[in-house]
Structure 1
Amino acid sequence: MFYQRQLLAGAVVSALASWSFSAHAQTTPPTSEASSEASANAAAAPVLRPIVVTANPFESEENAQILTPAKVLAGDELRNKLGNSLGETLSQELGVSASAFGAGASRPIIRGMEGPRVMILQNGMPVSDVSTVSNDHAVATEGATARQIEILRGPAALLYGSGAIGGLVNVVNDRIPTLLLPRLTGEVEGRYGTVDGQKNGSFSLDGSAGQIGYHLDGNYRDTDNYKIPGNARQGDASSASGRLPNSFTHETSLGGGVSYIADWGHIGLSASTLDDHYGIPTDEKSFIDLHQNRYDLDTLVREPFAGFESFKFKLGYTDYTHIEKQQDGTPSTVFANRALQTRWELTHKPLAGWRGTFGVQTEQSNYSAIGAASGTAELTPPTRSTSFAGFLVEERNFGPVLVSAGLRGESVQRRPDAGSGLADRDFSLLSWSTGALWAFTPGYGLGLTYSLAQRAPTVEELYSNGAHESTSTFDIGDGKLQKETSHNIELTLQKTEGLVRWKGNLFQNKVKNYIYGRTNGKVDDSGAADPDGEFTQRFWSQGDATIHGAEAEVSYNWNGEGYSVRGFADTSRGKLDNQGNLPLQPATRYGVGFGYRQGPVAGGVQVLRAMKQDRLASFETTETPSYTQLDANLSYTQKLNGVKVTWFALARNLLNQDIRLSTSVLKDSVPLSGRNLILGVRTSF
């Protein structure tokens, strides 16, 4: 605790001291707030603009993300795809699937990599929840109040931590303002869904007073158990039908921030709170009560001293708790995580043609999973983790060739409670990447990247030893696990200009000491073998693995005025070397979407086909059937008393298909929801 207070005090003092660096007066660069203001005053017809990827160290446009292939969801596209969870929102993006543990908990899976290999950020800082621990744990960030959601896969993702070995997702809500607005702006949305009685309302407000910018946002969501097309359990007519038991959700969030903004930059603070109450759709019918408080500080100083373009400092503190409760409300396990992170970045001016960013990132967390009744570590002992990392990324143009290189060194320590009798572990990690993009003709690019990434085993992978009620597993960690090392190579070819655009990616990941959960029969609550036991024994194990795949997308006038069309496909396959397939691998998918936009009217339809997934791990027993998902959307935008109002209707799973995801540990007993019609209205001013 002393170290935590000392680090916090030092960080704040350093940030305040940065005010003394004067900067030359200059025009404030456009940000997402400025774009929102422009959109609010524009006519109903859209004005296409480049989308800035804020999680990239150079904040370049989405189309420039060759060395870190990216997708940015924003505006109408984000609102149309918004789901009850982050995994559901992103589940149809290229190369992205979802863990699909009911309506309340679903995490994105990128190119077959899940859990701690996919880092979740909020405004460029780790979310610091416990969603990496288990699939029944929700991601503690809210998409309904996001300005945009960014997906990064590739070398630059490594700059945010060893947990980004598979990629990262950054939820941007701009809670700390960076621009002084001439008047109050905002957005309010309400929606209702038929499949689960969803009632959802969200809002965001931005304004300024003198040199002070301020922001406020909030969300409320309440859903009942959702409707399903057939029976909950495949091939079992006696299992639940009509609605999926215990699939309800109830979530509220509120956040706000203020900042002092001047020509030299800004310094700001934000605070937010999140409460999430949702059911676990297993036979035990348990549920989770989640609460998180989060505090952030963000500082930017332009031209702090000679030779440098900017200095950035971020600090985040998270206080997270969730209680897993039995059906009658009796608390079972209390998960807690308190984390303090800092991030320091300096971007230097071009030096011998090279432009670069370097910095330091630190994190200290205290994690525990304690039995509510006993007060003892029944699943995972209290463990203190610390990390210290330094990173550097550089890029330079050599004529038509853009070259990029990055390096990250990190030290990670795991310190379980002394009374647990478990050994401390220390890991030294080194990750690096290099790549090049050749613009062989205007609008076309050929890119090749190679990266090496290392990841330390998580606390639960090392030290778990007990029953986990919500997943019905008895988890057993291995204190001798070694760090993962991934060698990734990727080839990209794309066309980024004109009405017709396309891109294709080929990738391969070879992972040494890949960590995975290996199941081994039924046990009772003490871990003893029992054919009729309520828990499945799961060992954290290691083996070398290879994951390879391909992605392709082609579009005509996508999101433009008039008619548009988009086709897409992705596939990946993961194998444990000489041990068969990796578990929970995504199915091969392909699809096509048609759109129309003219003046105030916009609409579209998309069909997605997922193939049967029969590439099973040695301990998996059932195939995942194929499915076809048909979705549609329609909206009408008008001005009422100077306020932009959009009426919209979204239709999901129009064919009422029994959809099960091969990436879900509950695929045999928990299908996705059936046909759903969502009606809503959104205003912006």
Structure 2
Amino acid sequence: MNIEHTLLASALLLAFHPAVRAADDQQTINEGKVQQVVVTASPLRNGEGDQILTPAKVLAGDELRDKVGNSLGETLQNELGVSSSAFGAGASRPIIRGMEGSRVKMLENGMATSDVSGLSNDHAVASEGAVARQIEILRGPAALLYGSGAIGGLVNVVNERIPTALEPKPTGQIETRYSSVDDGKNLSGTLDGAVGKLGLHLDANLRNTDDYQIPGDRVLNDPSSAMHRLPNSDTRERNVGVGGSYVDDWGYAGLSVSHLTNFYGIPTNAGSHIDQRQNRYDFDSVVKNPLAGFESARVKAGYTDYHHAELDDGVPATLFSNKSFESRIELTHKPLTSLGLHGTVGVQTENTHFSALSAAGGPDTVPVTHSTTQAAFLVEEWKQGPLRWNAGVRYENVDRKPVSNRERTFDLGSGSIGALWPFTQGYSFGTTLSYAQRAPGTEELYSGGPHDATLTFDVGDPDLHKEISRNVELSLQKTSGLLRWRVNAYRNNVNNFIYGHVTDAMFDEDGNPGGDFRQRLFQQAKAHVQGAEAEMTWNQIGMGWNGRVFADTSRGYLDDAGNLPLQPADRVGASIGYRQPHWRTGLEWTHARGQERLAAFETSPTPAYNLVDANLSYTQKLESMDLTYFLTAKNLLNEDIRLSTSLLKDIAPLPGRNITFGVRAKF
């Protein structure tokens, strides 16, 4: 990728050009002004600091750039209450409070990614963090706008491919970076502009990485497996998106199209690869003051054509396909009554054709299945004396119709209510109660074939019942001043929790006894997940010194069936940083305890580890451009790190010490 090297060399030459001048303290990006971060997935688009009843974290700006990785799970894995499925460098999905898969909904610009990452941990999320403006993590009532099944919460990647405002002049950024651990080369960029009342957007990302280096042993506690690099951990991604919209005083309406190709290795003993492709088409429109009593009306629609092939020695073994059409209409009304009731009402539909078919004439992993969803939702907030309230309800009908099994229909009702009490200036106490139902996924109902990447022979159950979740959460926090903190505690009881029980039975790829595929049966039991999180920060926005300490813990278990599989380890951590208008640096430490709470089929505990990361950057002004040189280091101690939330924890450690350097030009 010579273009990346050329860009880096050009940027370095420009740094010493006479036209380069020091950035004025009042003009640099890091001038210390407090800017409100808008949570776009919130029904009323509140700021991040207002999301007390729907706990939110928004990664944006320098923080996002420091943490962005090869996958969404890698980018978010050190956030409070968030871990990662860590299925190699190419496929890593966020796990929130011990909930994974389809219980954590993945969105792009408020619409479902419509990939198949929720079906299995080896499937990558079809959304790219390198070109994102921000990444949002939400739980609580706001999640009801997007699906009753989001028991764990949702993650929304915001790239604003459909412009919502007109830029007075072209703006954007281009970044190139190189990572030492995998000889990784990454080039990404975004561009926004306007012609008259037409807003335009372009973004692209190119990434090539080789097999990444590991500290030593590949197999846990097996010195004979020592090697320099982890086989089949390479990645190759190409992603491009374009969009345009007509923007006027009444609102905007626009379209976007994007294309993704992602070829990545699966570091199992079988050593397979996945060839992933997706075309996505989106429409978004907002009309201000459309009717008396309403602030805005929003109409969104999206069509996704997704495919991936699981390759065995370069030959397709299983072909996954998901074609999906989603539509949404949202109406936000003006405050009503003396309580100031303010909220959003809407409807949503989804129509999908999904299949996982054998490419070699054997049993199909999942038959062709047509699913339809119709839903209506309402989310409101209001004040009553000192109390702030937030509530949401959703009704959803899901129909799954396979070509080779019986049809199932599910009626789902969900609701959530929370209250916040600011009992004194700058301090508040909140509580949220949630009730949610989730329909079994297509693979949980109708699987009946081999899954090569995980070496399991999956067997669904068409008689599965809907999941029913009851959740309570308590929070106490200090929300003003340089020193801020919060403490959250939660408990989630789930009836009919669906999980994959891996047995000792072995099958070949045709379903005959004997072979390399372990049987995985989709079963149900009553589950409980409980945990707590705490965080304290100092001067997170301003100049000078800043710091953070945090801790999180989660426990998940099944009635009469032991621990839930792949549960996160207890963690504590701290960070310290320093900011000036030109310079920024930071050091972060995370300690994870050993995880010995194993499910019935898990064979070995996960050892404790210490993760130390650091960053350093310098920004200078070049005419109207901010030029930033950055250096980041991950796993500085070169520890053998294995995540308890990964199916591959025994045979695929995380990357060793990784030094990344690059340059970013923002204009």
Structure 1: gaps spanning 5 or more residues: 1-38
Residues 158 and 507 of structure 1, relative CA distance in 2, 3 Å threshold:
same
Cα deviation, residue 578, structure 1:
2.5
2:410 maps to 427
Counterpart of 2:317 (choices 304, 327, 332) is 332
Please show how residues 39-58 of structure 1 align to structure 2 within 5 Å: 42=28, 44-58=30-44
Structure 2: gaps spanning 5 or more residues: 1-24
Question: Is the contact between residue 566 and residue 594 of structure 1 (CA under 8 Å) also seen in structure 2?
Answer: yes
Which amino acid in the other structure matches residue 347 of structure 1?
T
Counterpart of 1:590 (choices 547, 557, 572) is 572
Whole-angstrom distance in 2 between the partners of 1:269 and 1:556:
42
Counterpart of 2:435 (choices 433, 449, 452) is 452
Question: Is the contact between residue 613 and residue 625 of structure 1 (CA under 8 Å) also seen in structure 2?
Answer: yes
3-state SS, counterpart of residue 169 of structure 2:
coil
Cα deviation, residue 385, structure 1:
0.4
Counterpart of 2:222 (choices 236, 239, 242) is 236
**480-489 vs 229-238, which deviates more?**
229-238
Whole-angstrom distance in 2 between the partners of 1:324 and 1:240:
27
1:442 aligns with 2:428: no
1:342 aligns with 2:327: yes
3-state SS, counterpart of residue 64 of structure 2:
helix
1:676 maps to 658
Counterpart of 1:200 (choices 181, 186, 201) is 186
1:113 aligns with 2:99: yes
Whole-angstrom distance in 1 between the partners of 2:256 and 2:611:
40
Counterpart of 2:155 (choices 155, 169, 174) is 169
1:493 maps to 476
Cα deviation, residue 579, structure 1:
2.0
Question: Is the contact between residue 574 and residue 588 of structure 2 (CA under 8 Å) also seen in structure 1?
Answer: yes
Cα deviation, residue 41, structure 1:
6.0
1:569 aligns with 2:574: no
1:477 aligns with 2:477: no
Question: Is the contact between residue 158 and residue 165 of structure 1 (CA under 8 Å) also seen in structure 2?
Answer: no
3-state SS, counterpart of residue 344 of structure 1:
strand
Please show how residues 523-534 of structure 1 align to structure 2 within 5 Å: 523-525=506-508, 526-530=510-514, 533-534=515-516
Question: Is the contact between residue 369 and residue 377 of structure 1 (CA under 8 Å) also seen in structure 2?
Answer: no
1:361 maps to 348
2:448 maps to 465
1:557 maps to 539
Which amino acid in the other structure matches residue 103 of structure 1?
A
Question: Is the contact between residue 401 and residue 437 of structure 1 (CA under 8 Å) also seen in structure 2?
Answer: yes
Please show how residues 348-427 of structure 1 align to structure 2 within 5 Å: 348-352=333-337, 353-374=340-361, 378-417=364-403, 420=404, 422-427=405-410
Which amino acid in the other structure matches residue 561 of structure 2?
Q
Please show how residues 20-31 of structure 1 align to structure 2 within 5 Å: none
RMSD: 1.4
Cα deviation, residue 153, structure 1:
1.6
3-state SS, counterpart of residue 595 of structure 2:
coil
Cα deviation, residue 404, structure 1:
1.2
Cα deviation, residue 599, structure 1:
1.8
Which amino acid in the other structure matches residue 451 of structure 2?
H
Cα deviation, residue 199, structure 1:
0.1
Please show how residues 634-673 of structure 1 align to structure 2 within 5 Å: 634-673=616-655
Cα deviation, residue 395, structure 1:
0.9
Please show how residues 144-223 of structure 1 align to structure 2 within 5 Å: 144-223=130-209
Question: Is the contact between residue 275 and residue 290 of structure 1 (CA under 8 Å) also seen in structure 2?
Answer: yes
Q: Deviations over 1:654-685 (max 9, x none)?
A: 00000000000110001000000000100100
2:4 maps to none
Which amino acid in the other structure matches residue 365 of structure 1?
T
Residue correspondences, number: 641
Question: Is the contact between residue 141 and residue 390 of structure 2 (CA under 8 Å) also seen in structure 1?
Answer: no
1:13 maps to none
Cα deviation, residue 351, structure 1:
1.2
Cα deviation, residue 43, structure 1:
5.3
Whole-angstrom distance in 2 between the partners of 1:541 and 1:82:
36
2:3 maps to none
Question: Is the contact between residue 181 and residue 655 of structure 2 (CA under 8 Å) also seen in structure 1?
Answer: yes
Cα deviation, residue 40, structure 1:
12
Whole-angstrom distance in 2 between the partners of 1:520 and 1:129:
28
Whole-angstrom distance in 1 between the partners of 2:40 and 2:415:
21
Whole-angstrom distance in 1 between the partners of 2:461 and 2:507:
20
Which amino acid in the other structure matches residue 427 of structure 1?
F
Question: Is the contact between residue 149 and residue 436 of structure 2 (CA under 8 Å) also seen in structure 1?
Answer: no
Q: TM-score, normalised by structure 1?
A: 0.92
1:600 aligns with 2:582: yes
Q: Deviations over 1:144-178 (max 9, x none)?
A: 00000000022221221023111000000000001
Question: Is the contact between residue 368 and residue 377 of structure 1 (CA under 8 Å) also seen in structure 2?
Answer: no
Whole-angstrom distance in 2 between the partners of 1:260 and 1:448:
42
Cα deviation, residue 372, structure 1:
1.5
Give identity over the alignment, percent: 58
3-state SS, counterpart of residue 225 of structure 2:
coil
Which amino acid in the other structure matches residue 556 of structure 1?
W
Q: Deviations over 1:166-213 (max 9, x none)?
A: 100000000000111110001000000000001001000000011100
